[in-house]
């Protein structure tokens, strides 16, 4: 089975594009959602996160997202250490999930494929891009507690699109929903033709 990585910077519209692939019958795994689930429910991860960030990382048995975000997005080393804890757990879960699928290919939606050096794990990579202003606006609309400064800080922890474009097999420019649908269909057909 072909494993496809779907990536893009914050606010690029990865989830929207993944939904379009799902509508074409392609199973899609959302790494961000699964990471949140594992950070909330995996006793091993909870213990490791507490060891890294302290007891305050969990409040009343729930992941203290605001505290965790504040810690890691302002300290690159802490972010890297947290990624080193969470990403292997997500990778194992994805592999198990992919083995249970019966399609020609599966997609793993993941924000930081290149940043953590996992691009070689996939048979091909789809990059979703959009202009920076649109991306900031999308994040502001979906998360009222976001600030422009906070979004830009998160963007700084991700590779620039120009660097990602060189390393990707497919580029989907996501600034017009109808054109995005056409691009998704083209990519879908091309992947199926190569299988």
Domain boundaries, given as residue ranges, for the chain: 1-27+103-190, 41-100
Q: What was the pLDDT predicted at 171?
A: 98
* Residue pLDDT tens, the chain, 195 long: 999 999 999 999 999 999 999 999 999 999 999 999 999 999 999 999 999 999 999 999 999 998 998 898 778 899 889 999 999 999 999 999 999 999 999 999 999 899 889 999 999 999 999 999 999 999 999 988 888 988 888 888 788 899 999 999 999 999 999 999 999 999 999 999 998
Q: What was the pLDDT predicted at 157?
A: 78
Q: What was the pLDDT predicted at 90?
A: 96
Q: Write down the pTM of the prediction.
A: 0.90
Residue whose entry in the numeric block shows the structure tokens 């997005």: 73
Q: What was the pLDDT predicted at 38?
A: 96
Tokens of 2: 């072909």
Q: What was the pLDDT predicted at 32?
A: 92
Q: What was the pLDDT predicted at 143?
A: 86
Q: What was the pLDDT predicted at 74?
A: 78
Shortest CA distance to 73 belongs to which of 160, 149, 16, 186? 149
Strand order across the beta sheet in which 2-7 lies: 28-30, 105-109, 2-7, 124-129, 170-173
Q: What was the pLDDT predicted at 54?
A: 95
Residue whose entry in the numeric block shows the structure tokens 């490791």: 48
Q: What was the pLDDT predicted at 155?
A: 87
1-27+103-190 adopts what CATH topology? Rossmann fold (3.40.50)
């Amino acid at each position: 089975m072909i494993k496809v990585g779907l990536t893009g910077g914050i606010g690029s519209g990865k989830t929207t594009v993944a939904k379009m692939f799902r509508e074409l019958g392609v199973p899609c795994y959302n790494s961000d959602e699964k990471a949140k689930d594992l950070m909330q429910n995996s006793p091993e991860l909870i213990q490791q996160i507490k060891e890294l960030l302290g007891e305050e990382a969990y409040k009343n048995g729930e992941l203290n997202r605001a505290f965790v975000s504040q810690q890691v997005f302002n300290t690159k080393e802490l972010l890297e250490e947290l990624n080193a804890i969470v990403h292997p757990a997500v990778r194992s879960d994805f592999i198990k999930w992919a083995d249970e699928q019966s399609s020609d290919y599966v997609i793993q939606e993941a924000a930081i494929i290149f940043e953590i050096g996992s691009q070689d794990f996939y048979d091909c990579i789809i990059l979703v891009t959009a202009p920076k202003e649109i991306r900031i606006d999308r994040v502001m609309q979906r998360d009222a507690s976001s600030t422009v400064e906070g979004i830009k800080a998160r963007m700084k922890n991700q590779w620039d699109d120009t660097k990602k474009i060189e390393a990707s097999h497919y580029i989907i420019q996501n600034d017009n929903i109808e054109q995005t649908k056409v691009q998704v269909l083209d990519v879908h057909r091309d992947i199926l033709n190569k299988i």
